Amino acid sequence: MAEVTLKGVAKSYGRTPAVREFDLDIADEEFVVFVGPSGCGKSTTLRMIAGLEDITGGEIRIGDRVVNDLPPRDRNISMVFQNYALYPHMTVRENQAFGLRLAGRAKEEIARKVARASGILGLDPYLERRPAALSGGQRQRVAMGRAIVRDPDVFLFDEPLSNLDAKLRGQMRTEIKKLHEKVRTTVIYVTHDQVEAMTLADRIVVMRDGRIEQVGTPEEVYHRPVSDFVASFIGSPPMNLLEGRIVAEGDAPAVALSGGPVLPLGPGHARLPAGASVTLGLRPEAIAPQGMAGPMRRPFAFEADITLVEPLGGEALIFLALGDREMTARVFRPPARLAPARGVQFLVDLAEASVFDGGTGRRLGDDGAN
């Protein structure tokens, strides 16, 4: 059980910075997910917390200890690697017991802890097998078993599910979540899969180029992304990002999409100067053909062509062309007659709109008053 605190943590390889000025407070028992595109420094940050990578600046605390100069073995952490890193010459039982044996624990204690972990993870039938004789999913479980037997202060996961097929990935995701309910321990979990991030995290840390782009609950990150980068990274299909210009429309501002309609903004965006170039962000589920839309706070009607429909069973993705741009809408319980068509009436809930600076991509306005 421990908090983890990173203060101005930085890492460079030679002259290339991999992680810069990383500040984060992780609460005890919190499940934090680092997410971001490939190469943004997620693994590097995790490995610095583990002690597998020296830090070039800043301070890392686990509990009340500064661990900057402690070797991995003195940090009381466990880590699950993307490739599992099971000891190939040891059985499943030995793999799990290895850390406890090193720590010189009593035989009975080791047996009890291994039995408990194996029970939780359903490993009992495989205890005497070597990793080579296990499936990918089973190996994954052994790696988790090896991590939990040691009752660490912090669990570190580096893309633990990315080597599994989609179905197994979904199952293991649920299991990891359940596991966290059972063994309440601080978890830091790295992934580039935003679905994993959304479903598992208490808080999501979105990273970009070695920096934190946004920290927040899944809801915050989803509904109030701080930048068009976060907006396009979180959510699937991603948020529709439409370029436009602020125009004054009476006393409230509006966004004139280039070659498209003028969409009035809420009072939260009242201070945006006319002429400013912006990017308007609309979640696919905030858009729907008239008649299929749920309740909306500030609906706005427009006409567009449906170019393609992707039915997904309980929901459907509708691709629509508005002037020269493409948007995606997501509707739930789609009717069977949904098909490409011209001049369809759509509704969009502008209360759900995000506005980003056209140049910097930063979020503009105070959405509270949207």
Partner 1 sequence: MRAVTGTALWLVRLLYLAFALFPLLWLLRIALTPDEILYREGTTLWPSRTTLANFAYVIEESPFPVFFANTIVVALGTAAAVTLLAAGIGYAFSRFRFRGKSALMVFLVITQLFPIVMVITPLYQLLAPIGLVDTRIGLILVFTAFNLPFAAFLMHSFYEGIPAELEQAAMIDGCTRFQALVRIVLPLMLPGIGATVGFVFTAAWSELLFSLMLITSESKKTFAVGLLGFVGKSGVDWGQMMAAATLALIPPAIFFTLIQKYLVGGLTAGAVKA
* Closer CB to ligand ATP, 18 or 97, in the complex: 18
Q: Which range of residues in 40-48, 98-106, 142-150, 301-309 is near ligand ATP by CB under 6 A?
A: 40-48
What residues contact residue 166 under an 8 Å CB cut-off, 6+ apart?
none
* Residue 43 engages Mg ion in binding (rule: CB under 5 A): yes
Compute CA distances 237 → 50, 96, 171, 318, whole Å.
34, 40, 22, 11
* Residue 44 engages ligand ATP in binding (rule: CB under 6 A): yes
Which option in partner 1, ligand ATP, Mg ion, none does residue 192 bind, with CB closer than 5 to 8 A by kind?
Answer: ligand ATP
Cβ-contact 319, 306 below 8 angstroms: yes
Report which DSSP code applies to 238.
P
Give the residues lining the site for partner 1 (CB under 8 A): 50-52, 71-73, 75, 77-79, 81, 83-89, 98-99, 102-103, 130-134, 136, 139, 146, 150, 163
Q: Give all strands (DSSP E) within the chain, no chain letters.
A: 4-13, 16-26, 31-35, 57-62, 65-66, 77-80, 154-158, 186-191, 203-208, 211-216, 240-249, 252-257, 262-264, 277-282, 287-289, 299-311, 315-322, 325-332, 341-349, 354-357
Q: Is 50 helix (H, G, I), strand (E, B) or coil?
A: helix
Among the listed residues 139, 364, 136, the one whose alpha carbon sits nearest the alpha carbon of residue 266: 364
Which option in Mg ion, ligand ATP, partner 1, none does residue 98 bind, with CB closer than 5 to 8 A by kind?
Answer: partner 1
Size of the site for ligand ATP (CB under 6 A): 11
* Residue 13 engages ligand ATP in binding (rule: CB under 6 A): yes
Joined together, the tokens standing for residue 48 give 């610095």
> Minimal distance in Å, beta carbon 143 to partner 1?
8
Establish whether the linkage from the previous residue to 131 is cis, with ω within 30° of 0. no
Which option in Mg ion, ligand ATP, partner 1, none does residue 40 bind, with CB closer than 5 to 8 A by kind?
Answer: ligand ATP
Q: Which range of residues in 36-44, 133-141, 163-171, 300-308 is near Mg ion by CB under 5 A?
A: 36-44
Which option in ligand ATP, partner 1, Mg ion, none does residue 132 bind, with CB closer than 5 to 8 A by kind?
Answer: partner 1
* Closer CB to partner 1, 26 or 77, in the complex: 77
Among the listed residues 62, 83, 24, the one whose alpha carbon sits nearest the alpha carbon of residue 207: 24
Kindly give the pairing relationship between strand 240-249 and strand 252-257. antiparallel
Q: Which residue has the tokens 């943004």?
A: 40
Residue of this chain nearest to ligand ATP (CB atom): 43
Kindly give the pairing relationship between strand 277-282 and strand 315-322. unpaired
Joined together, the tokens standing for residue 356 give 């980003």
Which residues sit opposite 31 in a β-bridge? Answer: 187
Query: Binder to ligand ATP among 4, 18, 24, 348 (CB under 6 A)?
Result: 18
* Closer CB to partner 1, 96 or 240, in the complex: 96
Which option in ligand ATP, partner 1, Mg ion, none does residue 294 bind, with CB closer than 5 to 8 A by kind?
Answer: none
Q: 179-208: which residues touch ligand ATP (CB under 6 A)?
A: 192
Which option in ligand ATP, partner 1, Mg ion, none does residue 81 bind, with CB closer than 5 to 8 A by kind?
Answer: partner 1
Interface mask toward ligand ATP for 281-320; x: CB under 6 A: ----------------------------------------
Ordered DSSP codes for 149-179:
TT--SEEEEESTTTTS-HHHHHHHHHHHHHH
> Minimal distance in Å, beta carbon 272 to ligand ATP?
34
* Closer CB to ligand ATP, 232 or 307, in the complex: 232
- Where on the chain is the footprint of ligand ATP (CB under 6 A)? 13, 18, 36, 38-44, 192
